[in-house]
Amino acid sequence: MLKNVFLGFFIICILLFEASCFAAVHKKTDKVYIAKNPQSIVYHGTKKQKDYVIVVEKEIQQLTLYLSGGTVKKIARFKCSTGKVTGAKNKSGDKKTPEGVYFFTKKFKNKYISDIYGIMAFPTDYPNIFDKNCGKNGNAIWLHGTNKVLKNFDSNGCIVLEDKNIFKIASYIELNRTPIILIDRISYKESEQIKRSRREITAFISKWSKSLETGTYHEFLDRYSDKYAPEIYWWNRWMKLRAGLKSEYSSFGFTTRIISISAYKDIFVVLADQILTAKGKSVEIGRKKIYLSFKNGIYKIEGDEFLTTFHKNKLIQKEKPVNISAVMLKQNIEAEAEIVKLIGKWSRSWSSKNIVKYKSCYSDNFFSKGKNLNAWIKYKKKLNIRYGKINVAVKKIVVENSYNKATARFIQIYRRNAYKEVGRKRLVFNYENGKWKIVEENWSKL
């Protein structure tokens, strides 16, 4: 009897030991699993500013939407269809879907597209500069809906979703920001490895950006791969512009602000905004894509290009964005001083009823409250005759300006005899023949 009790106790101990071992292994396994993230999602968003990432797995015909910001979460998964021919796209007409990291550049609704694209379509930036450097070509690779039954591997290269699903995903897509990562099958890395890559890439981009701000031609080029020769015709002009800004403004700086880092195989794609600053003013150069390789512990740029630039004026688009931004930054700083001075002249001439000086502050193209310049001056002359002493004071002037245009907002204090009126004033300016002139005027009571 005692022997049987001892044997039973022994068996229970063995079972408890095995259970504890299984629990420990399971816990360890869970910990490893939780500590892994999709390898392609290196850095997207923060805890405060979350971003979305789309990953398409061609092999299993699945599109997955991820939310990234501190942690990576799977939001939704949809069946999709890709190219009729497997493999990465190389040339036009090969009916293959590309592989790599791409961004959406436009959005079309059904009234602007053929029925075969369903209710909505998002063109991508394929082929990007890295594709072109690899000898790839083709175009019109879109994410779109369909008016047909969705079948596996049934497109000419696009990524196709059922209409109901592209409608669901559309609200998560931000043009020129949300990436679509096209791969055969998703793979995972430990989060610490991904974080290390992010730190290293951030440090590399910072040094590359610093070489543009203060470095030499050779320091700048040293960041590039031997296989990729960036355009450099603009460098001498940039050096002169940079030197001028640095000598005039001690606060001059060149910033490359990373938005996201995505990966495809051994290539990292950095999306970043580039900005010039000086004396409290800033000019956005544009949003840039930088393609990095990592070999033998060294990062090199394999290609870089602007996804968008912030200069819409056709007259300046031929200029290198960094150079025209430097010119605009200097203009913006000088413009603010000139506009503040003009506002002073405008308010003094109004107060003194000097109609000639007052009129000289305005453009011949002025139009406000249904009046052109002549009608406006005629109206002001009548007011000058009607009222006695006038005093116009301004305070808290804020100037915003871009290429040849500016807007000033301020508090206007108007007095005539015993009457006083305080309001918000908005003056719009054009830069004409080397001078700023008022083209529009608005006022609202405080």
User: What domains, with CATH codes, occur in the chain?
Assistant: 41-187 (2.40.440.10), 329-445 (3.10.450.50)
Q: How far is CA 417 from CA 29, 51, 234, 387, in A?
A: 84, 58, 59, 8
Specify the DSSP class assigned to residue 110: G
> Which amino acid appears at position 77 of this protein?
R
Q: Quote the pLDDT of residue 402.
A: 74
Lowest mean pLDDT segment, chosen from 7-11, 318-322, 382-386, 390-394: 7-11
**pLDDT of 27:** 35
pLDDT at 13 over 60: no
Cα gap 193→39, rounded to integer Å: 9
Planar angle of CA 75, 39, 272, nearest 5 degrees: 85
Res 50: pLDDT = 86
Q: Which of 35-44, 115-124, 381-390 has the highest mean pLDDT?
A: 115-124
* Residue that has been written with the tokens 């994410």 in this structure: 143
Given a cut of 80, whether residue 26 has pLDDT beyond it is: no
Banded model confidence at residue 318, pLDDT cuts 50, 70, 90: low
Q: Does 305 have pLDDT greater than 50?
A: yes
**Residue 381 in tokens:** 């002359």
pLDDT at 248 over 90: yes
- pLDDT for the residue numbered 394: 97
Comparing 65-79, 306-320, 391-405, 421-435, which segment has the lowest mean pLDDT? 306-320
Query: Average pLDDT for residues 274-297, to the nearest whole number?
Result: 94
Structural tokens at position 324? 């025209």
pLDDT at 35: 60
- Please determine, for residue 22, whether its predicted confidence score (pLDDT) is greater than 50: no
The single-letter code of the amino acid at 44 is: H
For 343-363, what is the mean pLDDT? 97
CA 131 to chain centroid, in Å, comes to 21
Residue 295, CA distances (Å) to 42, 216, 302 in order:
17, 24, 12
Reference 346, options 372, 366, 371, 370; nearest CA is 366
Higher per-residue pLDDT: 326 or 401: 326
3-state helix vs strand vs coil in the chain, percent to 5: 35, 40, 30
Greater confidence (34 vs 70) lies with 70
Say which residue the tokens 């070509």 belong to: 137
Q: What is the mean pLDDT of residues 112-118?
A: 93
pLDDT value for 297:
93
Lowest mean per-residue pLDDT among 239-248, 311-320, 376-385: 311-320
Contacts 24+ apart (CB under 8 A), 441-446: 441/366, 441/368, 441/369, 442/368, 443/412, 445/421, 446/411, 446/422
The answer for residues whose C-beta is within 8 angstroms of residue 3's C-beta and 6 or more apart is: none
Asked if residues 56 and 183 have their Cβ atoms less than 8 Å apart, the reply is: yes
Q: How do residues 186-212 score in pLDDT, each as one tens digit?
A: 999 999 999 999 999 999 999 999 999
Angstrom CA distances, 373 to 408, 414, 428, 433, 437, stand at 19, 21, 14, 18, 12
pLDDT at 332: 87
Mean pLDDT to the nearest integer, 278-295: 94
CA distance linking residue 235 with residue 232, whole number of Å: 6
Helix (H) or strand (E) holding 381: helix 373-386
Question: Which pLDDT does position 47 carry in this prediction?
Answer: 78
d(CA 210, CA 228): 20
> What residues are paired with 326 via a beta bridge?
none
Average pLDDT on 100-110 reads 96
Query: Of 234, 215, 292, 302, whose CA–CA distance to 258 is shortest?
Result: 292
- Asked if 350 contacts 426 with a C-beta cutoff of 8 angstroms, the reply is no
* Most confident range, picked from 2-16, 75-89, 402-416: 75-89
pLDDT at 226 over 80: yes
Candidates 302, 141, 159, 299; CA nearest to 229 is 302
Q: Which of 376, 382, 374 is nearest to 353 (CA)?
A: 382
Sign of the alpha-carbon torsion through 279, 280, 284, 289? positive
Percent of the chain whose pLDDT exceeds 70: 90
Alpha-carbon Rg for the chain in angstroms: 31
Buried b (16+ CB within 10 A) or exposed e, 223-250: bbbeebebeeebbeebeebbeebeeebe
